[in-house]
């Protein structure tokens, strides 16, 4: 397997376990023992807090357009905190790369990250269970919920479920032979009455996860182990390889400029189905009559139901139009906003006191949920792809809550609250940058609902 090494070394250390030479030799030995091919070493200097070599490795992977096994001496080389460590594991997974620790006891980086938490090493019963699971994994036996298309028999071996396995093959046929996209495939399955194992509709995420899951070629992955040919395959190696190549070709590596934040991210809801609306940017390139190529960027909001399952009839709305509608609505609500701020003038800002306490409690709850999600993925109860989606939602909510604590810049000592709000939303609006506009709106607004072009704004209490 194509393999890369990433580790952090102290440039002042020339000998010992932490030296560059020692780490490089350990990686060469790992490749020789496992039968992998060395495709490069990215050694980070401990003093480089911005991790330039990690960024170079990401660029190398994107430009190569192939998957790699990324080997680290321990998960601590990926970051100082569990969030940093897990975040980089998920980032590499999004590039079709697997991370493994050069540690015979705990090769799985998620399990290794959990060991750094106090509660992870203080439960002997949990450790005994994990040792038993690792022993089963070394034999290629099923752990946790099997992937769609398989069941675990009485001997612990994964066996195909005929009806589900045929759906998996159909998904690969539609993707490879018919050239359909994941959203269209999900719609076809739903229209034909095919349901997931839990009886739910298919979404582009569930279809994409099946196309990315190497379990369907009989390759067992658990606790950092990779055992090809462990059980009966549902699709061929060639089909799986072509599916990965097509997915990579449809998401080419690009140099992205820093994206402008969406003003209503996390606040906007569809009035038809009640789900959140997401900000989407589309890039279009065309050739003019004079032969010159022109590029246009289009920003709009679209309902998550429509994005994932194509089951919401509500159409998209241009971001500029709906954001201006919300700003205009806030201008009309300036007296009410001013009154709310005036009532809180004795506090540090409108979000202080009980509001801040509520936000801090929710942040602690998100930390617990984050660790629980990582633990479930480490135990095989969910895939890394599923973990990435769940963590994305947790981090989005965390960012929104942190803005509620830090953002408010409206001065509580101002005498004319209404006039101040009017100034920020009228004459001062044009002078605010995209981030400042977003922060102002998030400081004032709890929720925005749009239905049939009508915008309803709910202010924060």
In 3-state terms, what secondary structure has residue 75?
helix
Question: Whole-model pTM?
Answer: 0.48
- Is the CB of residue 422 less than 8 Å from the CB of residue 336? no
pLDDT at 141 over 60: no
pLDDT at 162 over 70: yes
Count how many Cα atoms sit within 13 Å of the Cα of residue 415 in the half-sphere of its side chain: 0
pLDDT band at 108 (very low <50, low <70, confident <90, very high): confident
Q: Which of 63-67, 119-123, 125-129, 346-350 has the highest mean pLDDT?
A: 63-67
Query: Any bridge partners for residue 285, and if so which?
Result: 295
Q: Does domain 2-122 have CATH number 3.40.50.300?
A: no
Residues 206, 189: Cα–Cα separation, whole Å: 12
Smallest Cα–Cα separation from 409: which of 433, 444, 434, 457?
A: 444
Residue 51 Rama label (left phi>0; alpha psi -120 to 50; beta): left
Residues 95, 57: Cα–Cα separation, whole Å: 11
How confident is the model over 258-304, as pLDDT tens digits? 556 788 888 888 888 888 888 888 777 777 777 777 777 788 888 87
- Is the CB of residue 283 less than 8 Å from the CB of residue 295? yes
Domain ranges of the chain: 2-122, 150-250, 268-316, 319-459
CB atoms within 10 A of CB 337: 25
Which CATH architecture best describes the domain 150-250? Alpha-Beta Complex (3.90)
How confident is the model over 388-398, as pLDDT tens digits? 888 888 888 88
Q: Could you tell me where the DSSP H helices lie in 344-450?
A: 354-378, 384-406, 417-425, 434-444
What does pLDDT average to over the chain?
77
Q: What is the full DSSP assignment across 389-417?
A: HHHHHHHHHHHHHHHHHH---S-TT-S-H
Q: What share of the chain is helix, strand, coil (3-state, %, to 5)?
A: 50, 15, 35
21 Cβ partners below 8 Å, 6+ apart?
none
Residues 25, 323: Cα–Cα separation, whole Å: 56
- Output the six-digit token pair for 430: 């044009």
Residues 37, 67: Cα–Cα separation, whole Å: 12
Residue with tokens 């080997």: 71
With a pLDDT cut of 90, the percent of the chain lying above it is 17
- Is the CB of residue 343 less than 8 Å from the CB of residue 337? no
Q: What is the full DSSP assignment across 283-348?
A: EEEEE-TTS-EEEEEEEEEEEHHHHHTS---PPPEEHHHHHHHHHHHHHHTHHHHHHHHHHTTTSS
Residues 449, 148: Cα–Cα separation, whole Å: 36
Query: What's the pLDDT at 354?
Result: 44
How confident is the model over 358-392, as pLDDT tens digits? 677 778 888 888 988 888 888 777 778 788 888 88
Residues 339, 323: Cα–Cα separation, whole Å: 24
Query: What's the pLDDT at 54?
Result: 93
pLDDT band at 351 (very low <50, low <70, confident <90, very high): very low
- Output the six-digit token pair for 212: 């990315």
Query: What's the pLDDT at 6?
Result: 94
Residues 164, 413: Cα–Cα separation, whole Å: 64
Mean pLDDT of 234-257: 74
Residue with tokens 């038993």: 132
């Amino acid at each position: 397997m194509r393999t890369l090494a990433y580790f952090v070394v102290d440039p002042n250390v020339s000998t010992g376990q932490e030296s560059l030479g020692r780490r490089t030799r350990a990686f060469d030995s790992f490749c020789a023992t496992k039968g992998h091919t060395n495709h490069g070493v990215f050694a980070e200097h401990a003093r480089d807090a911005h991790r330039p070599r990690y960024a170079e490795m990401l660029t190398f992977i994107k430009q190569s357009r192939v998957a790699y096994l990324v080997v680290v001496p321990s998960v601590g080389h990926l970051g100082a905190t569990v969030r940093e460590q897990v975040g980089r594991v998920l980032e590499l997974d999004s590039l079709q790369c697997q991370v493994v620790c050069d540690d015979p006891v705990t090769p799985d980086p998620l399990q290794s990250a959990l060991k750094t938490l106090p509660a992870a090493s203080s439960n002997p019963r949990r450790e005994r269970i994990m040792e038993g699971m690792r022993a089963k994994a070394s034999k290629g036996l099923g752990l946790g919920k099997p992937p769609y298309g398989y069941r675990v028999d009485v001997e612990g071996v994964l066996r195909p479920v005929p009806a589900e396995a045929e759906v998996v093959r159909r998904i690969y046929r539609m993707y490879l032979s018919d050239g359909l996209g994941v959203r269209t495939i999900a719609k076809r399955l739903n229209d034909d009455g095919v349901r997931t194992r839990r009886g739910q509709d298919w979404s582009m995420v569930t279809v994409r996860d099946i196309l990315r899951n190497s379990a369907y070629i009989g390759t067992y992955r658990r606790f950092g182990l990779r055992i090809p040919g462990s059980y009966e395959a549902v699709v061929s190696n060639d089909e799986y390889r072509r599916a990965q190549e097509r997915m990579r070709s449809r998401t080419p590596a690009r140099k992205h400029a820093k994206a402008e934040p969406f003003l209503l991210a996390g606040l906007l809801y569809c009035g038809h189905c009640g789900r959140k609306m997401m900000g989407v940017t589309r890039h279009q390139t065309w050739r003019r009559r004079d032969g010159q190529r022109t590029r246009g960027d289009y920003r709009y909001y679209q309902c998550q139901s429509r994005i994932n399952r194509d089951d919401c009839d509500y159409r998209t709305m241009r971001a500029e139009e709906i954001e201006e509608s919300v700003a205009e609505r806030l201008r009309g609500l300036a007296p009410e906003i001013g009154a709310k701020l005036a009532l809180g003038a004795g506090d540090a800002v409108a979000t202080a006191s009980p509001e801040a306490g509520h936000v801090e409690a929710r942040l602690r709850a998100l930390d617990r949920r984050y660790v629980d999600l990582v633990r479930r993925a480490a135990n095989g109860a969910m895939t890394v792809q599923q973990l990435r989606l769940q963590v994305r939602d947790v981090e989005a909510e965390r960012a929104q809550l942190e803005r509620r604590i830090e953002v408010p810049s409206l001065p509580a000592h101002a005498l004319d609250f209404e006039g101040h709000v009017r100034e920020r939303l009228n004459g001062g609006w044009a002078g605010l940058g995209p981030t400042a506009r977003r922060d102002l709106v998030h400081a004032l607004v709890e929720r925005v609902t749009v239905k049939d072009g009508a915008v309803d704004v709910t202010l924060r209490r």
